């Protein structure tokens, strides 16, 4: 059997990087997507290869359709197949109330978090669907517990973008269920990753830990384990599932 191939967007750090490492350990060929940090992406690839795995890094901004198409074309040229997609790339912004949001902030948020996820899923379906001549596959969208909490006074726009990802997951799962494709989402709560620094709050996870029901925040590995399970045959009857990884929050 040929090794299966997975594309993980935003895989140079945090949850994406951990998912890439764990997927490779489970035998997947991994396409490590990144937007700007080539050094971090290359470090993930080196780590996979040093352990005997197969991986490549691919630069692409998932907020730009032409770059998404180029990314998938590179995977076609390298491996000639796609069996898994992890829609992990996403952005957050500085904490603000809705009445402070600019149109530019909202456009960026939705273009990357929502439209990018839709377009990556589109390209994956075109390659995986038995209706299109594919062999089936699994799509895992990385949402957020924010979609059910709302993130008032901080990131209502981010929460809304992840709500859109939830709905896409539910609808697409039904749309391609008969074509060999499973579609699920994980919804992390407060996870100790670099994304908090991107929103101007590098200590957010540490500061919020005492308020969490379990008395701690989650780790990237804990989320990655759920993602890789959803990619695998072990979750063969799971589709249209929204899996919260939020420590009872």
Q: What is the pLDDT of residues 44-77, one digit of tens each?
A: 999 999 999 999 999 999 999 999 999 999 999 9
**CA dihedral (38, 43, 49, 53) positive or negative:** negative
CATH among 3.40.50.300, 3.40.50.2300, 3.40.50.450, 3.40.50.720 for 5-245: 3.40.50.720
Look at residue 81 and give its three-state secondary structure. coil
| pLDDT score of 2 more than 80 | no
What are the domain boundaries of the chain?
Answer: 5-245
- Predicted pLDDT at 1: 44
pTM: 0.95
The fraction of the chain above a pLDDT of 90, given in percent, is 90
Look at residue 94 and give its three-state secondary structure. coil
**DSSP secondary structure of 121-158:** HHHHHHHH-GGGT---EEEEEE--THHHH--TTT-HHH
User: pLDDT of 140-165, one tens digit each?
Assistant: 999 999 999 999 999 999 999 999 99
Catalytic choice (34, 155, 158, 237): 158
**Structural tokens at position 137:** 């596959």
158 has catalytic annotation? yes
Q: How far is CA 80 from CA 65, 153, 238, 246, 248, in A?
A: 21, 46, 26, 36, 41
């Amino acid at each position: 059997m040929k090794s299966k191939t997975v594309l993980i967007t935003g895989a140079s750090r945090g949850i994406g990087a951990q998912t890439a490492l764990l997927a490779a350990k489970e035998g997947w060929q991994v396409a490590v997507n990144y937007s700007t940090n080539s050094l971090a992406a290359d470090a993930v690839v080196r780590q996979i290869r040093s352990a005997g795995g197969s991986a490549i890094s691919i630069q692409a901004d998932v907020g730009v359709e032409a770059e998404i198409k180029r990314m998938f074309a590179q995977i076609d040229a390298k491996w000639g197949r796609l069996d898994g997609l992890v829609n992990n790339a996403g952005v957050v912004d500085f904490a603000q109330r809705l009445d402070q949001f600019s149109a530019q902030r909202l456009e960026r948020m939705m273009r990357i978090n929502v439209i990018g996820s839709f377009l990556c899923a589109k390209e994956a379906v075109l390659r995986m669907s038995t209706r299109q001549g594919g062999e089936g596959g699994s799509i895992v969208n990385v949402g957020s517990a924010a979609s059910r909490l709302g993130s008032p006074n901080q990131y209502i726009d981010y929460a809304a973008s992840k709500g859109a990802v939830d709905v896409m997951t539910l609808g697409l799962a039904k749309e391609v269920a008969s074509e060999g494709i499973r579609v699920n989402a994980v919804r992390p709560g407060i996870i100790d990753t670099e994304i908090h620094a991107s929103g101007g709050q590098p200590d957010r996870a540490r500061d919020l830990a005492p308020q969490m029901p379990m008395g701690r925040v989650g780790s990237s590995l804990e989320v990655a384990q759920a993602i890789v399970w959803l990619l695998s045959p072990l979750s063969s009857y799971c589709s249209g599932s929204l899996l919260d990884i939020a420590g009872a929050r």
